[in-house]
């Protein structure tokens, strides 16, 4: 097993040190209130290395590697604060796609379970900092690609809700990005596609198309997702299009629910909703893909062999050799739905019914007129034989 350690100048082997608050701390959490109604704010960030400040923990290495590093927790409040310290897996919020972490009572199954903190509880005085070492032990059978976690410092506060005592956990975390060397797999799908047309009350006004689907990262690397929804009518007639917000930093095996509303859709009886999701490297959200190929190539970082965990590329992609590139292939899905203006349909039905009854009335009137004529003619014929016989004598 290989071992990667951070510089000894800022690592204390399984020890926790406190130092006065220094300038340049990263963004703190919203103010929390602990016991005695004392507000506390805090920040969590990687310990500075010889290369300078780090916003996140970034590692690129091989399976079976051990990494030792430290996280810096700063109490920016005016009173001592108690912190819970732990690591857990990262997720994407199903409805917004936002970066998030598992709840404290949910057991991590990926990189969050590979991290062991030197301490899980800590009291930090006002204006003080704590350096907490941790050990990241990557299994020898770790899957290649990206693994993402967060190292959290949480504050528990108590309050009342509906007359009952509740405990609120407020968290601040530092992101951990780990890329395990191996063959990258890029894949994205739009599944569960459904669409529905909503007409306006005005029978001649266009309606709206509601399109719902799930974007799923089927690969092993994190990526940015750009989207487009195009609605067409019979014979490919373009009816409208909509560009949903891009999904940045979609993690492997994570899904995001998307709801797109395409306005001004003409009611042509049938409509096809065509969804295209285009993956790309981190940083391409909201940017047009390469015009020639629609793909984006990323340089391949090599496996880490240095004596310290040097931050790696934020692209979050790896390849086997420097000559390889990653090709991002768009995924398209389509669904057909009715596009009918029900008020217009009612108007059409009423018009057809009116025409039918008018025709029926005209036909009935004509038939009665013809019947009256026939009856009059028959009556006339009935009278004419007597007169004809009298003339013939």
Question: Burial level of 107, CB count in 10 A (0-12/13-18/19+)?
Answer: exposed
What confidence score (pLDDT) does residue 385 get? 62
390 within a domain of the structure (yes/no): no
Check if the beta carbon of residue 224 is closer than 8 Å to that of residue 282. yes
Which 3 state secondary structure label does DSSP give 113?
A: helix
DSSP count for the chain of H helices, then E strands: 1, 22
CA within 13 Å, CB half, 305: 3
Distance CA 384, CA 391 (A): 11
Q: Does residue 309 register a pLDDT over 70?
A: no
Among 67, 73, 77, 54, residue whose Cα is nearest residue 16: 73
Q: 378 is in which domain, residue-wise?
A: 347-385
Q: Are residues 300 and 229 in the same domain?
A: yes
What is the percentage of the chain residues whose pLDDT exceeds 90?
61
Which of these three, 113, 146, 180, is where a domain ends?
A: 180
Confidence of residue 63 (pLDDT cuts 50, 70, 90): very high
Q: Does residue 300 register a pLDDT over 60?
A: no
Rounded to the nearest 5°, which phi and psi values hold at 355? -60, -40
Mean pLDDT of 258-286: 95
Which of these three, 112, 145, 180, is where a domain ends?
A: 180
Higher model confidence: residue 188 or residue 327?
Answer: 188
pLDDT digits (tens, 9 = 90+) for 164-174: 778 889 999 99
What confidence score (pLDDT) does residue 310 get? 39
Among 129, 93, 95, 135, residue whose Cα is nearest residue 115: 135
Here the CATH number for the domain that contains residue 208 is: 2.60.40.10
What confidence score (pLDDT) does residue 386 get? 59
pLDDT digits (tens, 9 = 90+) for 117-149: 999 999 999 999 999 999 999 999 999 999 999
Question: Burial level of 20, CB count in 10 A (0-12/13-18/19+)?
Answer: exposed
Q: Are residues 16 and 58 in the same domain?
A: yes
Confidence of residue 22 (pLDDT cuts 50, 70, 90): very low
Q: Does residue 288 register a pLDDT over 90?
A: no
Check if the beta carbon of residue 145 is closer than 8 Å to that of residue 186. no
Which of these three, 160, 180, 200, is where a domain ends?
A: 180
Higher model confidence: residue 52 or residue 130?
Answer: 130
Helix, strand and coil content of the chain, in percent to the nearest 5, comes to: 15, 45, 40
Q: How many Cβ atoms are within 10 Å of 363's Cβ, its own excluded?
A: 10
Mean pLDDT of 17-28: 40
Distance CA 211, CA 194 (A): 6
What confidence score (pLDDT) does residue 370 get? 87
- The residues, ordered by sequence, that sit 6+ positions from 325 with a Cβ below 8 Å of its Cβ are 297, 298, 300, 319
392 within a domain of the structure (yes/no): no
Mean pLDDT of 91-104: 96
Mean pLDDT of 345-360: 87
Q: Are residues 113 and 233 in the same domain?
A: no
What average pLDDT does the structure give for the chain?
82
Maximum CA extent, the chain: 149
Q: Are residues 175 and 201 in the same domain?
A: no
What confidence score (pLDDT) does residue 154 get? 95
Q: Does residue 27 register a pLDDT over 80?
A: no
106 within a domain of the structure (yes/no): yes
Confidence of residue 12 (pLDDT cuts 50, 70, 90): very low
Which 3 state secondary structure label does DSSP give 276?
A: strand
Overall number of domains in the chain: 3
Confidence of residue 382 (pLDDT cuts 50, 70, 90): confident
Q: Are residues 28 and 142 in the same domain?
A: yes
Q: Where are the alpha helices (DSSP H) in the chain?
A: 342-392
Confidence of residue 8 (pLDDT cuts 50, 70, 90): very low
- Please give the helix or strand (H or E) that residue 70 lies within, else none: strand 65-75
Q: Does residue 308 register a pLDDT over 50?
A: no
Q: Does residue 187 register a pLDDT over 80?
A: yes
Higher model confidence: residue 262 or residue 160?
Answer: 262
Rounded to the nearest 5°, which phi and psi values hold at 99? -65, 130
Check if the beta carbon of residue 219 is closer than 8 Å to that of residue 281. no
Distance CA 16, CA 254 (A): 35
Q: Are residues 271 and 357 in the same domain?
A: no
Selection from 173-177, 287-291, 379-383 with the highest mean pLDDT: 173-177
């Amino acid at each position: 097993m290989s071992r990667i350690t951070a510089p000894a100048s800022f690592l204390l082997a399984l020890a926790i040190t406190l130092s006065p608050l220094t300038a340049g701390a990263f963004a703190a959490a919203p103010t929390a209130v602990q016991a005695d109604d004392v507000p506390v704010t805090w920040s969590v960030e990687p310990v500075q290395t010889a290369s300078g400040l780090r916003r996140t923990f970034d590692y690129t290495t091989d399976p079976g590697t051990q990494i030792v590093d430290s996280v810096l927790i700063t109490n920016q409040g005016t009173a001592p604060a108690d912190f819970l310290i732990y690591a857990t897996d990262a997720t994407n919020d199903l409805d917004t796609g936002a970066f998030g972490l598992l709840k404290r009572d949910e057991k991590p199954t990926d990189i969050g379970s590979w991290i062991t903190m030197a301490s899980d509880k800590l009291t930090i005085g006002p204006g003080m900092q704590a350096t907490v070492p941790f050990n990241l032990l990557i299994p020898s059978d770790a899957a290649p690609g990206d693994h993402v976690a967060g190292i959290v410092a949480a504050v528990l506060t108590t309050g009342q809700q509906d007359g009952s005592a509740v405990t609120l956990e407020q968290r601040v975390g530092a992101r951990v990005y780990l890329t395990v060397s191996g063959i990258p797999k890029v894949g994205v799908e739009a599944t569960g596609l459904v669409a529905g047309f909503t007409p306006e009350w005005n029978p001649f006004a266009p309606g709206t198309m509601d399109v719902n689907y799930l974007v799923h990262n089927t690969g092993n690397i994190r990526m940015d997702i750009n989207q487009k929804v195009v609605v067409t009518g019979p014979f490919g007639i373009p009816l409208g299009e909509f560009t949903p917000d891009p999904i940045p930093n979609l993690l492997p095996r994570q899904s995001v629910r998307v709801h797109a509303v395409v306005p001004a859709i003409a009611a042509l009886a049938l409509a096809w909703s065509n969804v295209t999701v285009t993956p790309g490297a981190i940083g391409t959200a909201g940017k047009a893909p390469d015009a020639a190929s629609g793909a984006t190539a990323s340089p391949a970082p090599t496996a880490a062999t240095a004596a310290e965990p040097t931050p790696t590329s934020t692209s979050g992609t790896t390849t086997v050799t420097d000559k390889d590139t990653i090709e991002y292939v768009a995924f398209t899905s389509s669904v057909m739905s009715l596009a009918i203006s029900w008020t217009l349909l009612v108007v059409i039905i009423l018009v057809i019914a009116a025409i039918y009854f008018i025709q029926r009335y005209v036909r009935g009137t004509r038939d009665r007129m013809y019947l009256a004529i026939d009856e009059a003619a028959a009556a006339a014929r009935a009278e004419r034989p007597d007169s004809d016989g009298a003339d013939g004598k």
